[in-house]
Amino acid sequence: MARKILLTGGTGLLGISLIARMPFSFTICAGYYKFPKDRLSKAGRCEYREFDITSRDQVRAAFKGYSPDTVIHAASIGNVDYCEKNKNQAELTNIIGSRNMIEACAENGCSMIFTSSNAVFDGEHPPYDEAAAPNPVDYYGITKLETEKALASSGIKYSIVRLMTMYGWNHPLERQNPVTWILERLLRKERLNIVNDIYNNHLFAGNAAEAIWAIVRHEKEGIYHIAGGETVSRYDLALNVADCFGLDRGLINPVASSFFSQLAQRPKNTSYKIDKMEKDLLVRGLGIREGLEAMKADPPRGWKYDWM
């Protein structure tokens, strides 16, 4: 069946991966906010639309102009320290902006796939399955949980996709992720201090997109934990990046997280159980080296990073 998808966060790491892997019978209207228009890349069945999710009027106009049947809501402020420092702005975008999207879905009979996060967990009782009780330790996690609650009481058809920390090729104008951050520094031959006491089953953005499209195609509802197939520390991730891309692993120094005075507290281990994703969506969580190899095999075309 042909489907019309309204995607928010179309220029972010996940948005780019979703557009690159969109199913054939689907069309997408990809929303963005501050991204420069002349840097948007044309993609066949994807049109772009600039609208600010914090504006009810702009959200309504976007729905009216496109008439979607499904919304994938992936726009947010995802920088944990930034959210901690700028709570009003994080609330406006992540809570009120999401509420505007939910309200428009209700008015237009649309279903929503909401991209939540491992940040809803405190990291004390891994691995987390979909029934585990959330307990966010930072403001970003609180904003994600607030939207989960708003969805549960909205009456619309929805699915909550709790994504693990992702990696992949972000657009050069967008924020980096752990892998592009490490790659840039290793390519510049900088020494890196990387924490060896924070664990995740890091998720390749392409793997996340595959799982989300399976949810949309099969009209799945409820909560899904989406993560990679292997739990490693940030330090082990960095060693894998160096080995996979043929860079110097000797530049990477392991440190405890107490080494950094970060603003927001970081949960120690928020890794997921991914049985539901693998059995229900038939999407296998990629191991770290597999995900990195997939990333390496599909380098960004037409984008220029100043460090590559």
Ligand X SMILES: NC(=O)c1ccc[n+]([C@@H]2O[C@H](COP(=O)([O-])OP(=O)(O)OC[C@H]3O[C@@H](n4cnc5c(N)ncnc54)[C@H](OP(=O)(O)O)[C@@H]3O)[C@@H](O)[C@H]2O)c1
Structure token pair of residue 266: 């970081």
Among 7, 90, 91, 97, binds ligand X (CB under 6 A): 97
Q: Smallest distance from the beta carbon of 250 to ligand X, in angstroms?
A: 27
Least gap, CB of 226 to ligand X (angstroms): 9
Query: Which residues 103-122 are close enough to bind ligand X by CB under 6 A?
Result: 115, 117
Q: Is 168 in the site for ligand X (CB under 6 A)?
A: no
Q: Identify the residue among 49, 175, 268, 273 touching ligand X (CB under 6 A).
A: 175
Single out the residue of 5, 6, 7, 9 in contact with ligand X (rule: CB under 6 A).
9
Which region among 48-56, 99-107, 265-273, 279-287 touches ligand X (by CB under 6 A)?
48-56
Asked if 14 interacts with ligand X (CB under 6 A), we say yes
Write down the least CB distance from residue 111 to ligand X, Å.
17
Measured CA to CA, the distance from residue 59 to residue 97 in angstroms comes to: 9
**Cα 20–Cα 21–Cα 27 angle in degrees, nearest 5:** 85
- Count of residues engaged in binding ligand X, rule: CB under 6 A: 31
Question: CB 255 → ligand X: shortest distance, Å?
Answer: 21
By CB under 6 A, is residue 76 in contact with ligand X? yes
Burial of 115 per CB tally in 10 Å (0-12, 13-18, 19+): buried
The one-letter code for the residue type at 50 is E
Question: What backbone torsions phi and psi does residue 79 show, to the nearest 5 degrees?
Answer: -80, 115
217 exposed, middle or buried (CB, 10 Å; 0-12, 13-18, 19+)? middle
Cα 140 to Cα 117: distance, rounded to the nearest angstrom? 9
How many angstroms separate the CA atoms of 151 and 102, rounded? 7
Task: Please identify, using beta-carbon distances, which residue of 135 and 251 lies nearer to ligand X.
Answer: 135
Encode 95-151 in three state secondary structure.
HHHHHHHHHHHHHHCCEEEEEEEHHHCCCCCCCECCCCCCCCCCHHHHHHHHHHHHH
Which region, judged by CB under 6 A, interacts with ligand X, from 69-77, 212-220, 284-292, 295-303?
A: 69-77
Nearest to ligand X of 25, 41 (CB atom): 41
Question: Considering the rule CB under 6 A, would residue 166 count as an interface residue with ligand X?
Answer: yes
- 93 binds ligand X, rule: CB under 6 A: yes
The amino acid sitting at 25 is S
Identified binder of ligand X from the candidate list 7, 137, 163, 186, rule CB under 6 A? 163
Give the span between the Cα atoms of 16 and 290, in whole angstroms.
Answer: 20
Contacting residues toward ligand X, per CB under 6 A: 8-15, 31-35, 52-54, 74-76, 78, 93, 97, 115, 117, 163, 165-166, 170, 174-175, 177
